[in-house]
Amino acid sequence: MSSFPNLRHEDTRRLVLSSSAILLLATGASFISPLAAVFATIMGVFVAGSLFVMHYHRDMAKYNINLAEHFQDLQFLQSQLDLRKPLPYLSGWSASPALASRLYSLIEENKPATILELGSGVSTVVMAYAIQKVGTGKLVSIDHDEEYAEKTRAELKRHRLDHLVEVIHTPLVMTTTKGGPKPWYDISVLKSTTDINLLIIDGPPRHTCQDARLPAFEQLSKRLAPGCIVVIDDSLRSDEKRSLDAWTIDCNNDRSEDIPSEKGVSVRYLN
């Protein structure tokens, strides 16, 4: 799990800040007397140490909650999917257990006829199982990276679900958006994918550009069916938060649901 409390950039910043504060305090106190400088140093180290311990405990508490939520979601998936093989790990770049279990439930409850996913992977396999279970639905998943598209196809084959999904590799091309030009999927490959009932936005990855997923709504809005459900992964990241704010202005959504998982999953129900 990425949230395990290892030393991170922010910890280094805290260490530098607290050492500088102790040094300043000790220097200031040394003008009073050498004993005051020693006392200030001891106090400074004690306060900084206590803050670090408190922060560590808070991190550990958050980590344990995340772990419990992961277990619960995985248990739910396991109970619902008729798994033929183990799923690839739901961690790191892959869909979180929270996203995977939500996608399963959305398909089971709403039986969407047309599903489009941006960014393929384990989520594609989970949705294929869901489609097989409900007995209806067409899933198209696009990926800008041929290697990952191929991995997803191979995984679908391993689970004998390849006949239920079309995984399409399509490059990122400069796309004009309100936020300026951005590399985004060439969707000319999606000729027949219209009237989308469920849209999953989990790509392109963040490293491709700032606000990499911002064009999604603008580019796909004409292809969405009335009542479409839009799922946005990583909704707690600043880029995705900005995109969600921009979409809120443009889209006519009836209600939204934010799943308080580690990276955040947001579900928008359009009118």
Ligand X SMILES: C[S@@+](CC[C@H](N)C(=O)[O-])C[C@H]1O[C@@H](n2cnc3c(N)ncnc32)[C@H](O)[C@@H]1O
For ligand X, how many residues bind (rule: CB under 6 A)?
15
Q: Please select the residue that binds ligand X; options are 66, 120, 235, 243, rule is CB under 6 A.
A: 120
Cβ proximity to ligand X: between 112 and 203 the closer is 203
The answer to whether the CB of 268 falls within 8 A of the CB of 251 is yes
In the complex with ligand X, the residue whose CB is nearer, 22 or 202, is: 202
Phi, psi of 7, deg, nearest 5: -70, 130
Helix (H, G, I), strand (E, B) or coil at 165: strand
Q: Are 148 and 121 in contact (CB under 8 A)?
A: yes
CB 219 within 8 A of CB 201: no
| Contacts to ligand X from residues 132-171, by CB under 6 A | 143-145, 148
Q: Tell me the H-state helices in 111-179.
A: 122-134, 146-158
Give the CB-nearest residue to ligand X. Answer: 121
Q: How far is the CB of 31 from ligand X (least distance, A)?
A: 55
Site track for ligand X across 16-55, x = CB under 6 A: ----------------------------------------
Interacting residue with ligand X among 122, 127, 139, 265 (CB under 6 A): 122
> Which residues, 180 to 219, sit near ligand X by CB under 6 A?
202-203, 205
Q: Which of 119, 137, 215, 264 binds ligand X (CB under 6 A)?
A: 119
Site string for ligand X, 79-118 (x = CB under 6 A): --------------xxx-----------------------
Nearer to ligand X, 134 or 172 (CB): 172
The distance of Cα 166 from the centroid of its chain, to the nearest Å, equals 22
Pick between residue 26 and residue 73 the one whose CB is nearest to ligand X.
73
d(CA 33, CA 36): 5
10 Å Cβ neighbour count for 129?
A: 22
User: How many whole angstroms from its chain centre is CA 74?
Assistant: 17
CB 132 within 8 A of CB 163: no
How far apart are alpha carbons 8 and 14 in whole angstroms?
10
Instruction: List residues binding ligand X (CB under 6 A).
Output: 93-95, 119-123, 143-145, 148, 202-203, 205
